[in-house]
Amino acid sequence: MEKRTSEVTFKGGPVTLVGPHVKVGDKAPDFKTLNNGLAAVTLADTPAKARLFSVVPSLDTPVCSLQTKKFEEGVAALGDTVASYTVSLDLPFAQKRFCGTEGIKHMATLSDVHDQSFGKNWGVLIEGLPLGLLARAVFVVDKTGKVTHAEYVKEVTSHPDYDAALAAVKAVA
Question: DSSP letters along 9-22, please?
Answer: EETTEEEEEES---
β-pair partners for 33: 41
In the three-class reduction of DSSP (H, G, I as helix; E, B as strand; rest coil), residue 53 is classed as strand
Which residue, 102, 87, 70, 103, is CA-closest to 36? Answer: 87
- Separation between Cα atoms, residue 169 and residue 25, nearest integer Å: 14
Residues with catalytic function = 64
- Separation between Cα atoms, residue 163 and residue 92, nearest integer Å: 28
Which residue, 132, 129, 140, 130, is CA-closest to 111? Answer: 132
